[in-house]
Amino acid sequence: MTFIRTLNGDMAPEELGVTYAHDHLYCVPPLWKEKGIDDFMIDSVDNSVADVKLFTAAGGRSVYDATCIDYGRDPTALKEIADRTGINIIATAGFNKAIMWPGTMPGKGVTFGDWIASKSRAELKDHVVAELTTGMDGTDLLGGVAKFGTGYNTISEAEDKVMRAVLDAHKETGSPLHSHTELGTLILEQLAIVKQENVDPTRLTIAHVDRNPDHWVHLKAAETGVFMCFDGISRIKYHPESILIECIFNLVRHGHEKQILIGGDIARRTMYRNYGEGGLGLGYILESWVPRFIEQAGDAGFDGEALIHTFMVENPQSAFAFTQ
Ligand SMILES: [Zn+2]
């Protein structure tokens, strides 16, 4: 059986429609809140709903919200956004990265770091399985993806334990997997651990691969069958769009178009249109980036519209599927 687990229940993969594969529609990261970094506070359902309406007006239907508990997940707020806009939202079980773990864990009164250190791999697995099958954060809302993450060229002992526990939770539930890479580092090292744990790489999506626009690394990763999320669109401070698009063409030329996903990783008020800062907004990819990609793909000899359909409609149907 194959299905997508959304905050409004399980559904057939074909119902997803145009999907952003890594965004943050609502998040109040405990650590950034404690440090008073306001730009990271995506904390208004009304403002997020206004941006989601830009996404739906441009043809969007579904969003994978990549926010784990350590990045300030709020399943109830996400469900309200889904209910008010009609989009499907897939929420996230598991954990992000150790950078966030000095933050205080909601409901526990200790830091994530201390809590994780006090748990065995099996206990962490049980925690993630419960998020996927019982509910997240005291609600009955279920995670639809299990996530883990690593640092900038670092995998701490705690991250290694969490990663293996999340892989165990995947084995128990059949959930899809998603991983954070810091600036696209350690893509191949994550895949080595996935292989060591006998997990099928085709069940994993690696995020932020475009922060490290290294054609050789991308091809090595793609040869394992893993999904690769291009979610740095509009982040010119890292790389211009032309670099990202050339990375995508490189993968397509080598026959890996069925492993590419597209998202915005919108997680700052300055990136939203309706958080008072006048950013590009949640519609930007569909409004502006997709037409540009189609034009450049045509110039390069590809059918850009067909590729976009593959990346944004077809590939999410398998990348985000539970298989049981
Ligand atoms: Zn993200």
CA–centroid distance, 65 to ligand 1, in Å, is 8
Q: pLDDT (tens digit, 0 to 9) for every residue of the chain, 324 residues total? A: 999 999 999 999 999 999 999 999 999 999 999 999 999 999 999 999 999 999 999 999 999 999 999 999 999 999 999 999 999 999 999 999 999 999 999 989 999 999 999 999 999 999 999 999 999 999 999 999 999 999 999 999 999 999 999 999 999 999 999 999 999 999 999 999 999 999 999 999 999 999 999 999 999 999 999 999 999 999 999 999 999 999 999 999 999 999 999 999 999 999 999 999 999 999 999 999 999 999 999 999 999 999 999 999 999 999 999 998
Residue 60 neighbours by CB under 8 Å, 6+ apart: 17, 18, 19, 20, 52, 87, 282, 283, 286
CA–centroid distance, 279 to ligand 1, in Å, is 17
CA–centroid distance, 235 to ligand 1, in Å, is 13
CA–centroid distance, 130 to ligand 1, in Å, is 22
CA–centroid distance, 44 to ligand 1, in Å, is 18
CA–centroid distance, 298 to ligand 1, in Å, is 30
CA–centroid distance, 301 to ligand 1, in Å, is 32
CA–centroid distance, 252 to ligand 1, in Å, is 24
CA–centroid distance, 84 to ligand 1, in Å, is 23
CA–centroid distance, 299 to ligand 1, in Å, is 31
Residue 324, pLDDT score: 85
CA distances from 323 to 98, 123, 146, 229, 271 (A): 29, 23, 13, 20, 34
CA–centroid distance, 62 to ligand 1, in Å, is 16
User: Which residue in the block uniquely carries the two structure tokens 């309706």?
Assistant: 274
CA–centroid distance, 100 to ligand 1, in Å, is 13
CA–centroid distance, 182 to ligand 1, in Å, is 10
CA–centroid distance, 49 to ligand 1, in Å, is 18
CA–centroid distance, 187 to ligand 1, in Å, is 16
pTM for this structure?
0.97
| CB contact at 8 A, 116 and 105 | no
Instruction: Say how far apart CA 263 and CA 281 lie, in whole Å.
Output: 12
Domains of the chain (ranges; CATH) run 2-323 (3.20.20.140)
Check the CA dihedral 256-14-132-200 and report its sign.
negative
Residue 9, pLDDT score: 97
CA–centroid distance, 137 to ligand 1, in Å, is 19
CA–centroid distance, 39 to ligand 1, in Å, is 14
Q: CA-CA-CA-CA torsion for 44, 130, 6, 317, nearest 10 degrees?
A: 130
CA–centroid distance, 22 to ligand 1, in Å, is 6
CA–centroid distance, 264 to ligand 1, in Å, is 8
CA–centroid distance, 5 to ligand 1, in Å, is 19
CA–centroid distance, 266 to ligand 1, in Å, is 7
What is the radius of gyration, based on Cα positions, of the chain? 18
Would you put residue 286 in left (φ > 0), alpha (ψ -120 to 50) or beta? Answer: alpha
